[in-house]
A and B are shown apart, each in its own frame.
Chain A
Amino acid sequence: MSTYAQKKGFGATLWDFLTTVDHKKIAILYLIAGGFFFLVGGLEAVFIRIQLAVPNNDFVSAGLFNEIITMHGTTMIFLAAMPLVFAFMNAVMPLQIGARDVAFPFVNALGFWLFFFGGIFLNLSWFLGGAPDAGWTSYASLALHSKGHGVDFYILGLQISGIGTLIGGINFLVTIINMRAPGMTYMRMPLFTWTTFVTSALILFAFPPLTVGLVLMMFDRLFGANFFDPTLGGNTVIWEHLFWIFGHPEVYILILPAFGIFSEIFPIFSRKRLFGYSSMVFATVLIGFLGFMVWAHHMFTTGLGPVANAIFAVATMAIGVPTGIKIFNWLLTMWGGSVKFTTPMHWAMAFIPSFLAGGVTGVMLASAAADYQYHDTYFVVAHFHYVIVGGVVFAVFAGTHLYWPKMFGTMLNEVLGKITFWLFFIGFHLTFFIQHFLGLWGMPRRVFTYLPGQGFDAANMVSSIGAAFMGLGVIVMLYNIIITSVKNVKVGNDPWGDGRTLEWAIPSPPPFYNFKQLPLVRGLDAYWLEKMDGKKGMTPAEPLGDIHMPNSSFLPFMMAMGLFIAAFGAMYHVNDKAWALPVMIIGLLVTFGSMFLRSVKDDHGFHIHKEDLMDEEDKGVKA
C-alpha cells in the first residue's frame, strides 16, 4: 500500500500513468478517457436537440448537423460506451477471478493507447477541415462522395482504436481461461466475468470484418480502389454487410457487460444469490452466438429478397428468448430478497422496464414486412436509444457508483447519486419515449430540420426538454465526483457491506499486486461464503511467497503514437502534399521500431520479495 500513500509530484504521476501496465490504472485511464468522450458526445447530443427543438431552426447548418449526428453516434459507441465498459472489465474482472493482473499487461496498455490515439485522431477532424458526415454507419454510397477529409478521419481513427479493442478482447479471454485462482471453476465465476468472457469472444470475431471494411473504404477513398464503385464493377452493399457483420455483434459487445454489471448489483443489494445462475450463463452464451446470425435485419429494405429477410427476421426474434430468461432471473433475484435502495440499485431497477421497452420495439422492428414502415424514422432512433441508453448507459452509471470505492477508495455521495438518477431517468424517458410516436407519425431520422404545422412541433420540444434533464443529471454527477475526491474519505474493503465476490475481500483500492496470497475459492459468491462461515477474509490457497510482476513500459504509448502520426501521412497523401509520404513512413517506423525493440529487449519483470510483503503487513497493523 505504500505506493498509494506516497505523495508524488505531478510529473511523476503523469509518467506513471503513461507507462503503467497495471490493470487498475489502465481502468482509470479508460474511465477518464471514456468519460471525456462521453461528455463530448453528450454535448453533440445537446446541439442536436437544440437544433430540433423548434421547426425551421437555424442553430446549425444542414452540413454541420450531418457532422454532429455522425460524430455523436461514432463517439458514443466507439469512444464512450466501449472504453467505459472496458474500464469496468479492467478494474473488476481480474479481481473477481483472483488474479494479480491480466495475462498480457503490456498488451493491455497498448490497447488503451491505441483506443486513445484513435479517438483523438477522429475528434481532431473538427479542427482540420470538418468532421465525418456520412452517418455513424458511413454507408459507402454516401461516404465515397463526402468532400474533404471527414470520412478519412473516421476510417483511420476507427481503424487505430479498433486494433486496440481487438487485442484487449484477446487479453481478457486468455486471462479468464489461464489465470483463475485455485477453486475458481468456470461455473463459479461471477456473472460479470462471464459476460466479459463472452463479450471478448464477440470482439475477437466481430472486429476483423470491421477492419476489412475500413481497409476497403480506405483503399477506395485514398488509394484509388473500386470496391464500392458500381461504374467499375464494385458494389456498395458489400460495405453494408461488412459493417453490420461487425455492427450487430457490437451492440451485444456493449450490452452483455451491462447485463453483467446488473447481475452483480441485483444479488448484492437484494442480499440473495443470483436466481438461475446457470441459466444466466447459458443465456449469455446463446445471445453471443445468435448475435452473429442476425446482422442483415439492419438491411431489410435494401432488397435482400423474401427468403433472406424471413431467415434474419426469425433469427432476430429468437434473441428475445435468452434475453427474457435474464429479465425473469433478475426479477426473481429481487423476489423475497431484503432489497436495499442504493444508487446502483436505483439504476438496476430502472433498467428493467426501460430496456424491456427497447426490446419490445426491437421485436417490432424485426418483423421484416413492418420494418418497411419503421425504417429510417424516429421510431428506430427511439428503439436504439432505449436499448443503448436504457441498457448500457444506465449500467455505466450504476457501475460508476458501485465500483467507485473499489477503484478510488472513496464513496460517491448517495444523495447526489439519487438526484443524478432521477434527473437522468426522467430526462431519458421524456426525450426518447415521444420519439416512438414521432417516428410513427412520419418524421424521418437524420433530418436537420422540419416544417411547422406537420404535428412534430410539440413532440420535438418535449424531447429537447428531456435532453436538458439528462444534461443536468450528468452535471450533478460530475459535481459529486469532484466533492468526493476533494473530501477524500477513505473506505474499507467492503464499503457496501454486502459484497459477494472476491473484489470486495481486498482493500479499496487494492495494492498493485492485488492479492498477497491467492485466495481459495470454495463456491459461487466466494467472499459471501466465507462471511457466512463467520470468517473475515478469504482463506489463502498458497503460502506467502515472492510475487512476480511486470515492468512498466513507455513502448505502448510509442506504438500507438506511431500509427497516429502515420494516419496523417496516409490521409494527406491524396492532396499531393510533399510531406505526406515521409510522415507516413516516419510514423510506421516509430510503430514498427517500438515493436522491434519490444521483441529484442528481454523483459522478465521483477519480483516483490516475501520479506517486503511481510514488512508491509507490519506497517499496516501499526497504521
Chain B
Amino acid sequence: MHADEKFTYETWPAAPEKSTLESKNKFLGFWFFLGGETVLFASLFATYLALKDKVPSTTHHLAKDLFELPLTFVATMLLLTSSLTSVYAMYHMKNFAFKKMMVWLGLTALLGAGFLGLEVYEFTLYVHEGHTFTSSAFGSAFYTLVGFHGGHVAFGLLWCLTLMIRNSKRGLDLYNAPKFYVFSLYWHFIDVVWVFIFTVVYLMGMVG
C-alpha cells in the first residue's frame, strides 16, 4: 500500500492509523513518547506536592485561599468535552467521512482554545492577588506544573490547526490518517494530565 494512494469509502482499511510500516512506527513511537511524558509530568507533580503551600511568610496566599470551584469546574468540562469531540473525529476518520471529521476537529480546537482562555484569565486573577511565579516556591511550582500543561494545550492547538489547514483540500489518505490519529492520542493524554491536575492541585488544594 502506497501512502499517497487514493481511497474510496469501500477501499479504506479498517485500521488506517497503522496500515503502513511508517504509520505503525509512528503509532508506537508516539505511545513511547507518552510514556516519557508520564514521567515528565510525574516529576512536575512530585515537585508541586513537595512545594505546595511553601511560602516565606503568612501574608502569602495558600492553595485554599486561591482556588475556586466554579472556574475549575468550567475548565474541566471544556477539556473533557474536547476529548469526546476528538473521539468523534476519529470515529469519522475510520468511516472515511472527511468533512465530518474536520467539523469535530474544529470543535475540539474551539473547546481547547476556550480552556486556554480560561487559564489565562485565572492566572491574571492570581497575579493580581499577589500569587506570582516569583513570589514563593509554591507560586513557582504551581505555575510551572499548570503552565506546562497549558503549554501542551497550546502546542496541541497549533498542531491541530496545522493539520486541518494542510489537509483541508486533499481529504484522507494513509499518509495523513496516522497524523490525525496521533494528534488525538496527544489530546487525550493532555486530558489525562488535566484529570490529575484538577484533582491534585485544585480539589486537594481546596480540601486543605
A and B touch in the complex (CB under 8 A): yes
Chain A interfacial positions (CB closer than 8 Å to B)? 103-104, 107, 166, 170-171, 173-174, 177-179, 204-205, 207-209, 211-213, 215-216, 219-220, 223-227, 229, 231-235, 238, 242, 245, 596, 599-600, 602, 604
Is B175's beta carbon under 8 Å from chain A? Answer: yes
Provided the pairs A103-B29, A173-B32 are in contact, do residues A602 and B4 lie with their beta carbons within 8 angstroms?
Answer: yes
Contacting B137 at CB < 8 Å: which of A103, A177, A223, A229? A229
Which residues of A are found within 8 Å of B37, using beta-carbon distances? 208
Complex alpha-carbon distance, A604 and B29, angstroms: 18
Provided the pairs A174-B25, A225-B133, A599-B162 are in contact, do residues A235 and B51 lie with their beta carbons within 8 angstroms?
Answer: yes
Stretch at the interface among B7-15, B39-47, B114-122: B39-47
CB distance from A525 to the nearest CB of B (A): 27
Complex alpha-carbon distance, A600 and B140, angstroms: 36
A227 & B56 in contact (Cβ 8 Å cutoff): no
Is B171's beta carbon under 8 Å from chain A? Answer: no
Count of inter-chain pairs, beta carbons less than 8 A: 116
A-B contact pairs, 22 of them (CB 8 A): A170-B33, A173-B28, A179-B21, A204-B35, A205-B36, A208-B39, A209-B39, A216-B47, A220-B140, A224-B133, A226-B139, A227-B47, A227-B137, A229-B137, A232-B136, A234-B137, A235-B51, A245-B43, A599-B163, A602-B4, A604-B3, A604-B4
Q: A103-B25, A103-B29 are in contact. List 18 more A-B contacts (CB 8 A).
A: A104-B29, A166-B36, A170-B36, A174-B28, A178-B25, A211-B40, A219-B140, A219-B144, A224-B134, A225-B133, A226-B134, A226-B140, A232-B56, A233-B54, A233-B56, A233-B138, A234-B137, A235-B137
Which residues of B are found within 8 Å of A107, using beta-carbon distances? 29
CB distance from A172 to the nearest CB of B (A): 10
A174 & B4 in contact (Cβ 8 Å cutoff): no
Q: Closest chain A residue to B44 by CB distance?
A: A212
A204 & B56 in contact (Cβ 8 Å cutoff): no
Provided the pairs A170-B32, A204-B32 are in contact, do residues A178 and B133 lie with their beta carbons within 8 angstroms?
Answer: no
The interface bits of chain B over 156-194 (1 if a CB of A lies within 8 angstroms of the residue's CB, else 0) are: 000100110010000000010000000000000000000
A178 & B54 in contact (Cβ 8 Å cutoff): no
Q: What does DSSP make chain B's interface, helix, strand, loop or mixed? A: helix
Which B residues between 130 and 155 are near A, CB-CB below 8 angstroms? 133-141, 144
Chain B interfacial positions (CB closer than 8 Å to A)? 2-4, 21, 24-25, 28-29, 32-33, 35-37, 39-40, 43-44, 47, 50-51, 54-56, 133-141, 144, 159, 162-163, 166, 175
B28 & A223 in contact (Cβ 8 Å cutoff): no
Complex alpha-carbon distance, A211 and B135, angstroms: 23
